[in-house]
Amino acid sequence: MRILLINPEYDGSWFQFHPLKKTFSVYASGVSPPLGLLYIATILENQGYEVNLIDNDALKWSDDESLRFIEENRPDVVGFSILTASCHKAHRLAKKIKKRYPGIKILYGGPSSTTYPERLMKKYDFVDYLIVGEGEYTTLNLIRELETEQNLKSVRGLVYRDDEIIVFNEAGSPIRDLDDLPFPNRSFLKTNYDLSLSWGDFKVRFTVGKYTGMLTSRGCSNSCRFCQTWSNHNGWRGRSAKNVVEELELLEGQGYKHVFFVDDNFSADKKRVFEICKLIKERGIKVYWSVEMSVENGSYEMFKAMKEAGCDSILFGFESANQRILDYYCKRITPELSRKTVEDARSAGISCVIGTFLLGAPDESYEEAKRTVDFGLSLDLDALILFSLSVKPNTPIWNEMKEKGYLTDDFIEKRWETSHINVYELHSKLSKKEIDNLIEDSYTKFLWRPKYLAKHFYRNLRYGFRRKWMAKNLRAIAPFLKASLKTRMMK
């Protein structure tokens, strides 16, 4: 049986540095390989199936190009990974495939399929099967049943049609031992990735050599009220340090120079972090790597070990400078701890420290939001990222908005596959304009502080990673700084 897996192209921008003037939208499209599909493709291939993978978020193929590929390869099943940002293009192509090749089975998986399985099956009659939850073994079991007796009732995590009836099978179980998964076979990929963001007509690359993403854990041990990861109730599951480092060693042998660990919380198991760092050093692996991690798990000793093992950058979710808002989010941190974490990472020699913040909690005042912005500007960060708080399905804030009558079924029906719903659309003391103004002002101030510029220049000279990064990006950074300076002078 032949299977084609497709990662559709995403729509829209990640965020805008100047949301009011609509300048320099940052597009995070096609910047990292689709690891979920890679795992599925690898498992299917290991079982003897013929598999192809199209990452259209990177390749940007037209529908006609994708259809030509299908004509040439004649798959029996075409599977799509569905996100809010990519669902419209997925639906459009899937509908064309089913019309031209009625015998091809259309399979949907991914976050949107897990969140809205019934809505998707009811609205799109060209979808034959839908996977809820982790897709590796549900996909494999479905393919096996399609190939033999088609006993679909036995496939846990599957949604399908039995004549006109939508059938929901028993939920699948999350994979508890991630070491059982094979390493993703990146030879399925038809392009190279560089973790780049497009600023206007230019592209800024955050890598310094051949790059890929890598997953060392799934889930999260925290319980932030805005986050879907822990709301899925699968808990945090980590690969063993030995298993992680073996894949990293394999990637180094394949010529990779930079790896981003895409875990939601790399440092949930502190002991494992130290073990990973120890093994990397023992094996002499020379690869730059970057992570996202929780503030409360870090320490100077951990950051030092990470730095010595090749970690070049860390992204932290600080979210707010107000303890009341942090408590509302169920963040187990304080502003003081956030500041200390940045200081510890700097003292340990981490070359790039990035912080994210959220504005617009339901009862957050303008003064509190402004305090968060000022707090972010006061930290020794290389990049400051500000988001307007959105409500995501099945999270505690989503449920709160529903219970209080701010988020109605009619509203959800209009928006469930279009975009994230911002809190300011439902119930907030802050308007969209106020939030956009704060974001716009903060980026301009952040970039043009003399102390920041001096430190940035010094670190670009001091750290090998940053020297290489700067050399690759001078052409792209210059016009952005020019536009930011112009905005600053207009105020």
End-to-end CA distance of the chain: 63
Q: Alpha-carbon distance 177 to 253, whole Å?
A: 25
Q: Compute the chain's Rg from CA coordinates.
A: 23
Q: Kindly report the number of other CB atoms within 10 A of residue 109's CB atom.
A: 26
Say yes or no: do domains 2-168 and 207-490 share a fold.
no
Q: Which helix (H) or strand (E) holds 100?
A: helix 87-100
Model pTM score: 0.91
Check residue 55 and give its pLDDT. Answer: 95
Beta strands (DSSP E) in 50-200 are: 50-55, 77-81, 105-109, 129-131, 158-162, 165-168, 196-199
Which residues lie below 8 Å from residue 443, measured CB to CB, with a gap of 6+?
A: 17, 18, 384, 386, 484
Q: What is the pLDDT of residue 310?
A: 96
The domains of the chain are located at 2-168, 207-490
Q: Torsion-angle region of residue 465: left (phi > 0), alpha (psi -120 to 50) or beta? A: alpha
Residues 80, 130 contacting (CB under 8 angstroms) = no
- Residue 364: predicted pLDDT: 97
Question: One digit per residue, pLDDT tens: the chain, 491 residues?
Answer: 999 999 998 876 555 555 555 555 555 555 789 999 999 999 999 999 999 999 998 899 999 999 999 999 999 999 999 988 888 999 999 999 999 999 999 999 998 999 999 999 999 999 999 999 999 999 999 999 999 877 899 999 999 999 889 999 999 999 999 999 999 999 999 888 877 666 556 666 777 788 999 999 999 988 899 998 865 667 899 999 999 999 999 999 999 999 999 999 999 999 999 999 999 999 999 999 999 999 999 999 999 999 999 999 999 999 999 999 999 999 999 999 999 999 999 999 999 999 999 999 999 999 999 999 999 999 999 989 999 999 999 899 999 999 999 999 999 999 998 768 999 999 999 999 999 999 988 988 888 888 888 888 888 788 877 777 777 666 656 665 665 556 555 55
Query: Among the CATH numbers 3.40.50.700, 3.40.50.280, 2.102.10.10, 3.40.50.2300, which is that of 2-168?
Result: 3.40.50.280
What's the pLDDT at 232?
65
In CATH, the number for domain 207-490 is 3.80.30.20
pLDDT of residue 13: 53
Please report which helix (H) or strand (E) contains residue 353, including its range.
Answer: strand 352-359
> Which phi and psi angles does 48 have, rounded to 5°?
95, 5
